[in-house]
A = this chain, B = another copy of it.
Amino acid sequence: MLSTESRLTFELLHRDGAARRGRVTTPHGTIETPVFMPVGTLASVKSLTTDQLKQLGSTQHSALSTQHSPDRDSGPEIILNNTYHLMLRPGAELLEKLGGVHRFMGWDRAVLSDSGGFQVFSLANIRKVREEGVEFRSHLDGSAHFLSPETSLDIQTRMGVDIAMAFDECPPYGIPHADVERSMEMTHRWARRSLAARDALADARGKAPALFGIVQGGIHLDLRTRSAAAIAELPFDGIAIGGVSVGEPKEEMLAVMRHTAPLLPADRPRYLMGVGTPQDLLDGVAAGIDMFDCVMPTRNARNGSLFTSEGKVAIKNARYAADERPLDPACRCVTCRTVSRAYLRHLFMTGEIAASVYNTIHNVSFYLDLMRGVRQAIASNSFGAFRETFLSRFAGSRADEGP
C-alpha cells in the first residue's frame, strides 16, 4: 500500500487572516491554492480542446508559456471530472482500458473526480437508497446502476484520477432536521467504508487516488459541527464541504461555509463543492477555503453571460452591436486580445459554435485570473483590500447586470 504522502501533500505557505495560501502536490503536478477547478464533466471542459484549456488565462500564448512552472499563467493546474457521467459514457472499464482520464483527454495535469453522489441524487431516477449503496437508473437510457462507497472508489480508481471524493448522500434542501441527521450519519459510515475501499484498492492495484471526505449536515449548523468533527478525525487527504448549492438561499450557503470552514483541520486542503460566483469564491477564501469548482463559468459562457472586471456582460445586449472594445480590457485571454464585443455578440446572435468557444475561453480565464490575484494578494497580506477592490469594480456601474 502506498503512503498517503506519496499520493498528496499539502503545504500551508501563508495566512492572511483566515485566508490561506497553500500548495497541493499530486502525481500530476502541484496546485497552487486557493484554486478554482474548471469542470470537465465528460472528460471535456465544455467547448474547449485540451490544447486550448492548457493555454487559458492571461498568457502570452506562446509555446514557451505552456511549460509547467509554479503558479504559471497558462491554464488550470487541476480540473474536475464527473464520475456519474463518465461511468455511463464511455464507462469505467473502457476508461481504464484506455489508460484513464488523463490519457483519454490528453491532459497531463491533476484531475479530481466527484463521487457521483451529487448527480445520483439530482439527475438519476433513484430506485433504492440503502445502507449498502444506491440503486439508480441512468437519466440517459434508464439502464440500472449501483453506486456505493466501494463501487464509486473503484470507478474513480479506474479513471486514474489524482484526487477521489468519498461517496456521500446529498440530501435536498428543505427536508426535516431528523432526516438530514440520519442521512449525515450514513454519509459518515460511508466515509469510513470509502477509506477502507481506497486502501484495499491500493493494496490490490499498487496504486489508488488520494481521497477527500465530505462534510454534510444541510443548513443545520449543529449537524455541520458534528459532521466536521466526524470527518476530520478520519485520515482523509483533504476535506470538502458538500451538500451546498442544492437549492438553499445564498445566505444559508454562506452561513454553512463560514461556520464549517474553521472547524476543519488546518493541515489539510479544504474544498467547497460546487460554488460559485466570483463573490462566493472570495467569501470562501476569506473563510479559509482552498479549493473550488463550479460549472458557472463554462455554462454561463454558452448562455452568453460573461464575467468581466467591471461586472457581468450579457453579450446579446444590443448595446454591444457596434462595441469595438475587448470584452474585458483588463484581460489578456485569447478572446480579449483578438476580437471585439461586437464580434462576440454577432457570433452569439447567429448561433455560431465559436461563440461558445470564445466565451468559455474568457470566462474560465477570468476565474483563473481571479484566483491568481487572490493568491498574490494573500502572499502580500493584502487579501482584504484585493477583495474590496475587486467587488467594487465587479459590481460597478458599467456592468449591465447586477453582480
By a CB distance below 8 angstroms, the chain B residues around A42 are 346-347, 350, 352
Q: How far is the CA of A61 from the CA of B353 in the complex (A)?
A: 22
User: A-B pairs with the 4 shortest C-beta distances?
Assistant: A62-B63, A106-B338, A47-B353, A44-B354
**A294 CB–B CB distance under 8 Å:** no
By a CB distance below 8 angstroms, the chain B residues around A94 are 321-322, 342
Contact B63 A342 (CB under 8 A): no
Q: How far is the CA of A355 from the CA of B51 in the complex (A)?
A: 13
**A249 CB–B CB distance under 8 Å:** no
Which one, A10-18, A356-364, A384-392, is touching chain B? A356-364
With contacts A49-B335, A89-B350, A98-B340 known, what are 20 further pairs, Cβ within 8 A? A42-B347, A47-B353, A48-B354, A49-B338, A50-B339, A60-B63, A63-B63, A63-B64, A94-B321, A94-B342, A97-B322, A98-B342, A98-B343, A104-B340, A104-B343, A105-B339, A105-B343, A106-B339, A353-B356, A353-B357
By a CB distance below 8 angstroms, the chain B residues around A347 are 42, 44
A residues contacting B by CB (< 8 A) are 42-44, 46-52, 60-64, 89-90, 94, 97-99, 104-106, 302, 321-322, 324, 334-335, 338-340, 342-343, 346-347, 349-350, 352-354, 356-358, 361
Contact B342 A104 (CB under 8 A): yes
- A345 CB to closest chain B CB (Å) equals 8
By a CB distance below 8 angstroms, the chain B residues around A358 are 49
A346: nearest residue on chain B (CB-CB)? B90
Contact B98 A324 (CB under 8 A): yes
Taken together, the copies of this chain in the complex come to: 2
Q: How far is the CA of A137 from the CA of B332 in the complex (A)?
A: 41
Q: How far is the CA of A204 from the CA of B241 in the complex (A)?
A: 68
By a CB distance below 8 angstroms, the chain B residues around A352 are 42, 44, 46
Q: Which residue of B44, B48, B302, B338 contacts A50 across the interface (Cβ within 8 Å)?
A: B338
By a CB distance below 8 angstroms, the chain B residues around A62 are 62-63
Contact A343 B48 (CB under 8 A): no
Given contacts A322-B98, A356-B353, contact A342 B90 (CB under 8 A): yes
Given contacts A90-B321, A354-B46, contact A338 B51 (CB under 8 A): yes
- A148 CB to closest chain B CB (Å) equals 25
- A353 CB to closest chain B CB (Å) equals 4
By a CB distance below 8 angstroms, the chain B residues around A49 are 334-335, 338, 354, 357-358, 361
By a CB distance below 8 angstroms, the chain B residues around A89 are 346, 349-350
Q: How far is the CA of A302 from the CA of B351 in the complex (A)?
A: 14
Q: How far is the CA of A340 from the CA of B61 in the complex (A)?
A: 24
- A308 CB to closest chain B CB (Å) equals 19
Contact A353 B46 (CB under 8 A): yes
Q: How far is the CA of A64 from the CA of B64 in the complex (A)?
A: 11
A61: nearest residue on chain B (CB-CB)? B63
By a CB distance below 8 angstroms, the chain B residues around A105 are 339, 343
Q: How far is the CA of A43 from the CA of B344 in the complex (A)?
A: 11
By a CB distance below 8 angstroms, the chain B residues around A361 are 49
Q: How far is the CA of A338 from the CA of B107 in the complex (A)?
A: 9
Q: How far is the CA of A136 from the CA of B341 in the complex (A)?
A: 31
Contact A343 B46 (CB under 8 A): no
- A48 CB to closest chain B CB (Å) equals 6
